[in-house]
């Protein structure tokens, strides 16, 4: 009885192993397949969300040099696969490489847009490296210059504003750190530069408040009064009006 049970179990295990091997065999691609077949296999992997496998397959297509058209399509697809796989550093590089190789391609505008988005998706907190913000803004502004009527122009314009707002927020973050640590000249320079650089953003009321506060704490009362005067005039309902008045009462 025990022997029979063991035989049954062994048979089941054998069937299971054969099933796994069979499935594995179905998933295996032919490394010697023609480039057009590999390209289609890559498309199927892409549709299934197997982006890394699709990239590997399309790279083989590129290396085959069968035709310029197939290579170009593979390059575009590789960039998109990197993006959808959230490999944004690799995606940005792939989109940029494509544009350098094919500057007049009909999809060059789309590739530039996606390059900007690849940088934008790398943006994190205000206390992290701000290079992605800078890179995204540069690419988006380039898109606006090169493709003023492009299909992504509205979103690109919105993202450009977002990037500038993030850059202003970072300048204020650094300026407030200098103010808090008593490095008043550095704080003043930071706030003053922020106002000159981002003169058209509504968040500059915060910069005016902290500029006035830094001037007062640095003993430059006339300049502090001037900064607050501009705050009162340009932003009469700003949330910083009350704090500005308290600072004025403290120093005058």
Give the residue, 22 or 210, on which the prediction is more confident. 210
pLDDT of residue 8: 41
pLDDT range class, residue 25, cuts 50, 70, 90: very low
Kindly state whether residue 220 falls inside one of the protein's structural domains: yes
Q: What is the pLDDT of residues 72-108, one digit of tens each?
A: 999 999 999 999 999 999 999 999 999 999 999 999 9
pLDDT of residue 150: 97
DSSP conformation letters of 223-251:
HHHHHHHHHHHH-TT-TTHHHHHHHHHHH
pLDDT of residue 251: 87
Q: Which domain holds residue 202?
A: 182-252
Name the domain count of the chain: 1
pLDDT of residue 31: 62
pLDDT range class, residue 5, cuts 50, 70, 90: very low
Alpha-carbon distance 172 to 198, whole Å? Answer: 11
Kindly state the average pLDDT of the residues 43-60: 97
Indicate if the pLDDT at residue 156 is higher than 50. yes
Kindly state the average pLDDT of the residues 49-56: 97
Kindly state whether residue 143 falls inside one of the protein's structural domains: no
Kindly state whether residue 114 falls inside one of the protein's structural domains: no
Kindly state whether residue 246 falls inside one of the protein's structural domains: yes
Indicate if the pLDDT at residue 246 is higher than 70. yes
Sign of CA dihedral 20, 23, 24, 25: positive
pLDDT of residue 27: 42
Alpha-carbon distance 155 to 109, whole Å? Answer: 13
Kindly state whether residue 56 falls inside one of the protein's structural domains: no
pLDDT of residue 30: 61
Kindly state whether residue 197 falls inside one of the protein's structural domains: yes
Does residue 191 contact residue 210 with C-beta atoms inside 8 Å? yes
Whole-model pTM: value is 0.84
Kindly state whether residue 44 falls inside one of the protein's structural domains: no
Please report, rounded to a whole number, the percentage of residues in the chain having pLDDT higher than 70.
Answer: 87
Q: Residue 147: helix, strand or coil by DSSP? A: coil
Kindly state whether residue 124 falls inside one of the protein's structural domains: no
Cα torsion 147, 152, 153, 154 to 10°: value is: 170
Q: What angle do CA 10, 12, 17 make, to 5 degrees?
A: 95
Kindly state the average pLDDT of the residues 2-17: 43
CATH of residue 249's domain is 1.25.40
Indicate if the pLDDT at residue 228 is higher than 50. yes
pLDDT range class, residue 65, cuts 50, 70, 90: confident
Cβ neighbours of residue 74 closer than 8 Å, sequence gap 6 or more: 39, 42, 58, 59, 61, 62
DSSP conformation letters of 165-198:
HHHHHHHHHHHHHHHHTT-HHHHHHHHHHHHHHT
Which of 58-67, 206-215, 241-250 has the least mean pLDDT?
58-67
Kindly state the average pLDDT of the residues 117-126: 96
């Amino acid at each position: 009885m025990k022997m029979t049970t063991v035989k049954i179990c062994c048979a089941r295990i054998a069937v299971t192993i054969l099933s796994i091997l069979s499935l594995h065999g179905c998933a295996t691609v032919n490394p010697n397949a023609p480039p057009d077949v590999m390209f289609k296999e890559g498309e199927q992997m892409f549709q299934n969300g197997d982006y890394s496998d699709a990239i590997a397959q399309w790279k083989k297509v590129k290396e085959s040099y069968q035709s310029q058209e197939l290579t170009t399509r593979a390059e575009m697809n590789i960039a998109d696969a990197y993006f959808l796989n959230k490999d944004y550093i690799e995606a940005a590089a792939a989109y940029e490489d494509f544009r350098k190789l094919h500057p007049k391609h009909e999809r060059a505008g789309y590739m530039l847009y996606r390059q900007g988005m690849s940088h934008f998706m790398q943006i994190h907190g205000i206390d992290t490296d701000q290079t992605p913000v800078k890179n995204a803004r540069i690419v988006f502004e380039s898109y606006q210059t090169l493709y003023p009527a492009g299909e992504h122009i509205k979103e690109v314009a919105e993202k450009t504003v977002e990037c500038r707002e993030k850059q202003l927020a970072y300048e204020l973050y650094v300026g407030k750190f200098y103010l808090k640590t008593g490095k008043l000249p550095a704080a003043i320079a930071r706030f003053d530069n922020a106002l000159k650089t981002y003169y058209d953003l509504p968040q500059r009321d915060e910069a005016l408040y902290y500029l006035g506060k830094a001037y007062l704490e640095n003993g430059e009362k006339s300049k502090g009064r001037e900064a607050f005067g501009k705050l009162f005039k340009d932003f009469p309902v700003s949330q910083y009006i009350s704090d500005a008045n308290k600072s004025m009462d403290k120093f005058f």
